[in-house]
Amino acid sequence: MNIFISNINYAASSSDLENFFSAFGTISSAKIITDRETGRSRGFGFIEMPNEEEAKSAIETLNGALFQGKNLNVSEAREREERPRRSFNNNNSRRY
């Protein structure tokens, strides 16, 4: 099960997050999402747990839990929505 975590302290690392969740079971992956340009944390991330029962227990217990000075928001991740590709062209082919 894929778990979404928000309100993560910007100083936290993916391994910090993995260690925090590992008390509830096996972790397949842990990732804090970073800004493409600056490389800084965006304050949210994902944990993948193969055992659904362990994942649900982690969600119930850790939602609102204090982690590095901030209360986490923890929920089951939703499928990513398909969005139309953005055009950076801005229709500059027009002449004025």
- The predicted pLDDT at position 23 comes to 95
Residue 69 within any structural domain of the chain: yes
Lowest mean pLDDT among 20-24, 27-31, 70-74, 86-90: 86-90
Residue 52 within any structural domain of the chain: yes
Residue 8 within any structural domain of the chain: yes
Asked if residue 49 lies in contact with residue 55, where contact means CB atoms within 8 angstroms, the answer is yes
Residue 94 within any structural domain of the chain: no
Residues 16-30 have a mean pLDDT of 96
The domain that contains 22 carries what CATH number? Answer: 3.30.70.330
Question: Model-level pTM greater than 0.85?
Answer: no
Q: How far is CA 85 from the centre of its chain?
A: 22
- CA angle at residue 38 from 42 to 49, to 5 degrees? 40
Checking if the pLDDT of 91 tops 70, the result is: no
Q: For the chain, what is the domain count?
A: 1
pLDDT band at 81 (very low <50, low <70, confident <90, very high): confident
Checking if the pLDDT of 22 tops 80, the result is: yes
Residue 93 within any structural domain of the chain: no
Domain that holds residue 32: 2-76
Residue 37 within any structural domain of the chain: yes
State whether the Cα torsion 68-73-78-80 is positive or negative: negative
